Amino acid sequence: MSLFITFEGGEGCGKSTQAEKLFRTLREASLPAVKTFEPGGTRLGRKVRPTLVSRQLKMQLSPMTELFLFAASRAQLVTEIIRPNLDGEKIVICDRFTDSTLAYQGYGRGIDLKTIDTVNTLATGGLKPDLVILLDLPPQIGLARHQGSKLGRFEQEGLAFHKRIRDGYLKLAAKEPERWLVIDGTLPKAKIGKIIWEKVSQLLSSKGYL
């Protein structure tokens, strides 16, 4: 018995806030929950993260370099954090996972989706989330939420790039509607949290946690 939940979405969609809220709700209910994130979550991931997301390094990365750096960080995260906790029958929440790579490096950067699927499978051993929660938000709204803050490599990309990412996410969700929960990211935070908890509660019951 285990449950693997991932949060996905474009820049500024609020997924990190909702992932933390769900984690706290589970812990308050005395359920065995663990939360992690990408890129990061391990010592290696924390080393790789600045190269991938920080604009301060001013490093020009090719799309393939991005793909493999994300995959390396993910492989370590699965080996060190995700798999052991799932084997320990815990509820694992991950802020971004393989679908981020399909959306950003695939639909966004233009890398062949089959190539990304192959790399993802190698990095994760074929592990897939039981539930993918997508906070869908028009990119212009999400990017506006970052105004006044330090922008990373991805936030600095043009609007067309972020529109491709959003379209990619929606296409991925449409292919597996039974595994994805798509939520309007413009809804109030409390409403979004309620929708998430209703869905997660159903899964918890089916898995025997409740």
Q: Domain of 67: which CATH number?
A: 3.40.50.300
Question: Alpha-carbon distance 51 to 15, whole Å?
Answer: 22
User: What confidence tens digit (pLDDT) does each residue in 173-204 have?
Assistant: 999 999 999 999 999 999 999 999 999 999 99
Query: Tokens in use for 199?
Result: 């869905």
Nearest CA-CA partner of 36 in 7, 3, 14, 1: 7
User: What confidence tens digit (pLDDT) does each residue in 15-65 have?
Assistant: 999 999 999 999 999 999 999 999 999 999 999 998 898 766 556 889 999
SS3 106: helix
SS3 81: helix
pTM over cut 0.85: yes
Q: Is the dihedral of CA 108, 74, 39, 131 positive or negative?
A: positive
157-183 as b/e, with b when 16 or more CB fall inside 10 Å?
A: beeebbbbbbebbbebbeeeeeebbbb
Q: Beta strand 180-184 with 33-37: parallel, antiparallel or unpaired? A: unpaired
Angle of helix 189-207 relative to helix 15-28, nearest 10 degrees, comes to 50
Q: Which residue has the higher pLDDT, 144 or 185?
A: 185
Q: To 5 degrees, how large is the angle CA 140–CA 5–CA 21? A: 65
Average pLDDT, the chain: 94
Q: What percent of the chain has pLDDT over 70?
A: 95
Chain-centre distance for alpha carbon 117: 16
For the chain, how many structural domains are there in total?
Answer: 1
User: What confidence tens digit (pLDDT) does each residue in 86-102 have?
Assistant: 999 999 999 999 999 99
Query: Tokens in use for 71?
Result: 């995959």
pLDDT, residue 54, reads: 76
Range of the domain at 110: 3-207
